[in-house]
Amino acid sequence: MKIRVLIADDHPLFRAAMCQALGDIVGPLILQASTLNETLSQLEANPDIDLVFLDVKMPGNDGLIGLSEVRARFPDVLVVMVTALEEANLIRKALALGACGFIPKSASIECIAEAVERVIDGEQWLPESVANLNDDATETETKTDDFSVKLAMLTPHQLKVLRMVADGLLNKQIAYELDISESTVKQHVSAVLRKLNVINRTKAGIAFKHAMAVHE
DNA sequence: TCAAACTCCGAAGTAACCGT
DNA sequence: ACGGTTACTTCGGAGTTTGA
Protein backbone atom coordinates (compact mmCIF):
# COMPACT_ATOMS: atom_id res chain seq x y z
CA MET A 1 0.00 0.00 0.00
CA LYS A 2 1.59 3.30 -1.08
CA ILE A 3 -0.22 6.14 0.60
CA ARG A 4 0.96 9.22 2.44
CA VAL A 5 -0.21 9.49 6.03
CA LEU A 6 -0.17 12.33 8.56
CA ILE A 7 -0.39 11.49 12.26
CA ALA A 8 -1.73 14.42 14.26
CA ASP A 9 -1.46 13.90 17.99
CA ASP A 10 0.09 15.93 20.81
CA HIS A 11 1.63 12.89 22.52
CA PRO A 12 5.07 12.05 21.02
CA LEU A 13 4.93 8.51 22.38
CA PHE A 14 1.59 7.84 20.70
CA ARG A 15 2.87 9.33 17.42
CA ALA A 16 5.95 7.12 17.61
CA ALA A 17 3.80 4.07 18.28
CA MET A 18 1.50 4.92 15.40
CA CYS A 19 4.48 5.47 13.08
CA GLN A 20 5.83 2.09 14.02
CA ALA A 21 2.44 0.44 13.54
CA LEU A 22 1.71 2.20 10.26
CA GLY A 23 5.23 1.75 8.92
CA ASP A 24 4.53 -1.95 8.35
CA ILE A 25 1.24 -1.14 6.64
CA VAL A 26 1.72 1.93 4.47
CA GLY A 27 5.48 2.20 4.15
CA PRO A 28 7.73 5.12 5.07
CA LEU A 29 5.54 7.98 3.85
CA ILE A 30 4.43 9.13 7.29
CA LEU A 31 4.37 12.74 8.52
CA GLN A 32 3.66 14.00 12.02
CA ALA A 33 2.02 17.02 13.68
CA SER A 34 1.49 17.87 17.34
CA THR A 35 -1.01 20.74 17.06
CA LEU A 36 -3.94 21.61 14.83
CA ASN A 37 -2.01 24.49 13.25
CA GLU A 38 0.87 22.18 12.51
CA THR A 39 -1.57 19.68 11.00
CA LEU A 40 -3.02 22.32 8.68
CA SER A 41 0.48 23.52 7.73
CA GLN A 42 1.55 19.97 6.90
CA LEU A 43 -1.56 19.45 4.77
CA GLU A 44 -0.91 22.72 2.97
CA ALA A 45 2.75 21.93 2.37
CA ASN A 46 2.05 18.31 1.36
CA PRO A 47 -0.96 18.21 -0.96
CA ASP A 48 -0.22 14.53 -1.66
CA ILE A 49 -1.27 13.45 1.84
CA ASP A 50 -4.02 10.83 1.50
CA LEU A 51 -4.97 10.11 5.07
CA VAL A 52 -4.86 11.92 8.41
CA PHE A 53 -5.12 10.31 11.83
CA LEU A 54 -6.49 13.23 13.84
CA ASP A 55 -6.56 13.28 17.63
CA VAL A 56 -9.86 14.62 18.99
CA LYS A 57 -8.15 16.52 21.78
CA MET A 58 -4.91 18.32 20.99
CA PRO A 59 -3.65 21.93 21.11
CA GLY A 60 -5.94 24.00 18.88
CA ASN A 61 -8.40 21.17 18.46
CA ASP A 62 -10.88 20.89 21.31
CA GLY A 63 -13.55 18.50 20.13
CA LEU A 64 -14.41 18.31 16.45
CA ILE A 65 -13.30 21.81 15.41
CA GLY A 66 -10.13 20.39 13.88
CA LEU A 67 -12.12 17.88 11.87
CA SER A 68 -14.41 20.56 10.48
CA GLU A 69 -11.38 22.73 9.67
CA VAL A 70 -9.55 19.95 7.86
CA ARG A 71 -12.71 18.92 5.98
CA ALA A 72 -13.35 22.52 5.02
CA ARG A 73 -9.85 23.26 3.75
CA PHE A 74 -8.86 19.84 2.44
CA PRO A 75 -12.05 18.06 1.38
CA ASP A 76 -10.15 15.39 -0.57
CA VAL A 77 -8.13 14.20 2.43
CA LEU A 78 -9.47 11.20 4.31
CA VAL A 79 -9.70 11.76 8.07
CA VAL A 80 -9.74 9.07 10.72
CA MET A 81 -10.43 10.34 14.22
CA VAL A 82 -8.29 9.01 17.08
CA THR A 83 -9.32 9.28 20.71
CA ALA A 84 -9.08 7.63 24.11
CA LEU A 85 -12.83 8.20 24.56
CA GLU A 86 -15.37 5.86 23.00
CA GLU A 87 -18.48 8.02 23.16
CA ALA A 88 -21.25 7.08 20.76
CA ASN A 89 -22.41 10.68 20.54
CA LEU A 90 -18.93 11.97 19.68
CA ILE A 91 -18.49 9.27 17.06
CA ARG A 92 -21.82 10.04 15.40
CA LYS A 93 -20.90 13.72 15.22
CA ALA A 94 -17.48 12.96 13.74
CA LEU A 95 -18.95 10.71 11.06
CA ALA A 96 -21.63 13.27 10.25
CA LEU A 97 -18.88 15.86 9.80
CA GLY A 98 -17.12 13.70 7.26
CA ALA A 99 -14.72 11.53 9.24
CA CYS A 100 -14.04 8.26 7.45
CA GLY A 101 -13.40 6.27 10.58
CA PHE A 102 -12.86 6.22 14.28
CA ILE A 103 -10.00 4.49 16.10
CA PRO A 104 -9.66 4.17 19.87
CA LYS A 105 -6.11 4.64 21.15
CA SER A 106 -6.37 1.15 22.61
CA ALA A 107 -6.79 -0.36 19.11
CA SER A 108 -4.47 -3.18 18.06
CA ILE A 109 -2.11 -2.93 15.06
CA GLU A 110 -4.35 -5.39 13.20
CA CYS A 111 -7.30 -3.15 13.92
CA ILE A 112 -5.45 -0.06 12.59
CA ALA A 113 -4.33 -1.95 9.48
CA GLU A 114 -7.90 -2.99 8.76
CA ALA A 115 -9.06 0.60 9.26
CA VAL A 116 -6.50 1.96 6.79
CA GLU A 117 -7.44 -0.59 4.15
CA ARG A 118 -11.16 0.00 4.48
CA VAL A 119 -10.86 3.80 4.51
CA ILE A 120 -8.58 3.83 1.47
CA ASP A 121 -11.17 1.63 -0.26
CA GLY A 122 -13.73 4.36 0.34
CA GLU A 123 -15.56 2.73 3.21
CA GLN A 124 -16.36 4.12 6.65
CA TRP A 125 -14.75 2.11 9.40
CA LEU A 126 -15.44 1.60 13.09
CA PRO A 127 -13.94 -1.06 15.37
CA GLU A 128 -16.41 -3.58 16.76
CA SER A 129 -16.18 -2.21 20.30
CA VAL A 130 -17.20 1.21 19.04
CA ALA A 131 -19.78 0.03 16.52
CA ASN A 132 -21.59 -1.85 19.29
CA LEU A 133 -21.74 1.06 21.72
CA ASN A 134 -25.23 1.49 23.15
CA ASP A 135 -27.10 4.40 21.73
CA ASP A 136 -27.96 6.16 24.96
CA ALA A 137 -28.51 9.55 23.40
CA THR A 138 -30.71 11.97 25.26
CA GLU A 139 -33.20 14.17 23.49
CA THR A 140 -30.66 17.00 23.46
CA GLU A 141 -28.03 14.75 21.97
CA THR A 142 -30.47 13.64 19.30
CA LYS A 143 -31.04 17.26 18.38
CA THR A 144 -27.29 17.73 18.21
CA ASP A 145 -27.06 14.73 15.90
CA ASP A 146 -29.61 16.32 13.59
CA PHE A 147 -27.51 19.46 13.62
CA SER A 148 -24.37 17.49 12.81
CA VAL A 149 -26.11 15.98 9.82
CA LYS A 150 -27.06 19.49 8.69
CA LEU A 151 -23.45 20.60 9.20
CA ALA A 152 -22.34 17.84 6.88
CA MET A 153 -24.50 19.40 4.15
CA LEU A 154 -22.44 22.61 4.17
CA THR A 155 -19.84 23.29 1.52
CA PRO A 156 -16.23 23.85 2.68
CA HIS A 157 -16.60 27.61 2.24
CA GLN A 158 -19.84 27.67 4.16
CA LEU A 159 -18.23 25.70 6.99
CA LYS A 160 -15.36 28.18 7.19
CA VAL A 161 -17.80 31.08 7.33
CA LEU A 162 -19.91 29.39 9.99
CA ARG A 163 -16.85 28.82 12.14
CA MET A 164 -15.97 32.51 11.94
CA VAL A 165 -19.56 33.49 12.67
CA ALA A 166 -19.42 31.27 15.75
CA ASP A 167 -16.23 33.08 16.77
CA GLY A 168 -18.16 36.35 16.69
CA LEU A 169 -16.57 37.85 13.57
CA LEU A 170 -18.55 40.43 11.58
CA ASN A 171 -19.21 39.85 7.88
CA LYS A 172 -16.62 42.50 7.08
CA GLN A 173 -14.01 40.73 9.19
CA ILE A 174 -14.84 37.38 7.63
CA ALA A 175 -14.53 38.92 4.18
CA TYR A 176 -11.10 40.28 5.07
CA GLU A 177 -9.95 36.95 6.55
CA LEU A 178 -11.11 34.93 3.53
CA ASP A 179 -10.16 37.59 1.01
CA ILE A 180 -13.64 37.75 -0.52
CA SER A 181 -16.23 40.52 -0.67
CA GLU A 182 -18.64 41.22 2.17
CA SER A 183 -21.61 40.43 -0.05
CA THR A 184 -20.19 37.00 -0.75
CA VAL A 185 -19.88 36.39 2.97
CA LYS A 186 -23.52 37.40 3.34
CA GLN A 187 -24.46 34.95 0.62
CA HIS A 188 -22.62 32.18 2.44
CA VAL A 189 -24.20 33.12 5.76
CA SER A 190 -27.66 33.05 4.17
CA ALA A 191 -26.98 29.59 2.76
CA VAL A 192 -25.75 28.40 6.15
CA LEU A 193 -28.86 29.71 7.91
CA ARG A 194 -31.04 28.02 5.32
CA LYS A 195 -29.27 24.67 5.58
CA LEU A 196 -29.10 24.71 9.37
CA ASN A 197 -32.69 25.90 9.59
CA VAL A 198 -31.93 28.71 12.05
CA ILE A 199 -33.24 32.28 11.94
CA ASN A 200 -30.03 34.24 12.48
CA ARG A 201 -26.25 34.02 12.83
CA THR A 202 -26.36 34.11 16.61
CA LYS A 203 -28.38 30.89 16.75
CA ALA A 204 -26.18 29.32 14.09
CA GLY A 205 -23.05 30.22 16.05
CA ILE A 206 -24.43 28.90 19.31
CA ALA A 207 -25.58 25.67 17.70
CA PHE A 208 -22.19 25.22 16.02
CA LYS A 209 -20.30 25.77 19.29
CA HIS A 210 -22.65 23.36 21.04
CA ALA A 211 -22.15 20.71 18.37
CA MET A 212 -18.39 21.08 18.54
CA ALA A 213 -18.20 20.94 22.34
CA VAL A 214 -17.87 17.27 23.16
CA HIS A 215 -16.24 17.44 26.55
CA GLU A 216 -18.75 19.49 28.54
C1' DT B 1 -18.41 30.72 -6.15
C1' DC B 2 -18.74 35.45 -6.23
C1' DA B 3 -20.50 40.23 -6.43
C1' DA B 4 -23.92 44.00 -6.81
C1' DA B 5 -28.10 45.96 -5.53
C1' DC B 6 -31.63 45.92 -2.72
C1' DT B 7 -34.66 45.63 1.67
C1' DC B 8 -35.12 45.09 6.56
C1' DC B 9 -34.03 46.03 11.25
C1' DG B 10 -32.11 47.91 15.35
C1' DA B 11 -29.19 51.31 17.65
C1' DA B 12 -27.99 55.96 18.28
C1' DG B 13 -28.64 60.77 17.81
C1' DT B 14 -31.70 64.73 17.61
C1' DA B 15 -35.66 67.63 17.78
C1' DA B 16 -40.25 68.59 19.41
C1' DC B 17 -43.51 68.33 22.91
C1' DC B 18 -45.29 68.15 27.63
C1' DG B 19 -45.45 68.27 32.72
C1' DT B 20 -43.33 70.00 36.86
C1' DA C 1 -35.49 76.19 32.95
C1' DC C 2 -35.20 71.43 33.49
C1' DG C 3 -36.12 66.61 32.87
C1' DG C 4 -38.72 62.92 30.71
C1' DT C 5 -41.12 61.02 26.75
C1' DT C 6 -42.11 60.42 21.94
C1' DA C 7 -41.33 60.70 17.02
C1' DC C 8 -38.29 61.12 13.34
C1' DT C 9 -33.84 60.50 10.86
C1' DT C 10 -29.52 58.43 9.94
C1' DC C 11 -26.38 54.77 9.69
C1' DG C 12 -24.39 50.29 9.92
C1' DG C 13 -24.99 45.42 9.83
C1' DA C 14 -27.71 41.44 8.39
C1' DG C 15 -30.05 38.99 5.03
C1' DT C 16 -32.28 38.19 0.14
C1' DT C 17 -32.45 38.22 -4.73
C1' DT C 18 -30.47 38.18 -9.08
C1' DG C 19 -27.11 37.49 -12.41
C1' DA C 20 -22.32 36.49 -14.12
- Check which CATH number belongs to the domain holding A16 and give it: 3.40.50.2300
The reply to whether A186 has its C-beta less than 7 Å from any atom of strand C is yes
Structural domain of A182: 154-212
Proximity of residue A200 CB to strand C below 7 A: yes
SS (H, E, C) chain A: CCCCEEEECCCHHHHHHHHHHHHHHHCCCEEEECCHHHHHHHHHHCCCCCEEEEECEECCEECCHHHHHHHHHCCCCEEEEEECCCCHHHHHHHHHCCCCEEEECCCCHHHHHHHHHHHHCCCCECCHHHHCCCCCCCHHHHHHHHHHHHHHCCCHHHHHHHHHHHCCCCHHHHHHHHCCCHHHHHHHHHHHHHHHCCCCHHHHHHHHHHHHCCCC
**Number of structural domains found in chain A:** 2
- Within 7 A of a protein CB, which nucleotides of strand C? 13-18
**Which nucleotide lies nearest residue A157, CA to C1'?**
B1
pLDDT, tens digit, for every residue of A138-184?
444 444 455 666 666 666 667 777 777 777 666 766 766 666 666 66
**pLDDT tens-digit map of A58-75:** 876 666 777 877 776 777
Residue A161 maps to which CATH number? Answer: 1.10.10.10
Q: Shortest CA–C1' contact from A185: which nucleotide?
A: B2
Same domain for A109 and A161, yes or no, is: no
pLDDT reported for residue A109:
79
- Give strand letter and number of the nucleotide nearest A75 (CA to C1'): B1
Is the CB atom of residue A173 positioned under 7 angstroms from any atom of strand C?
no
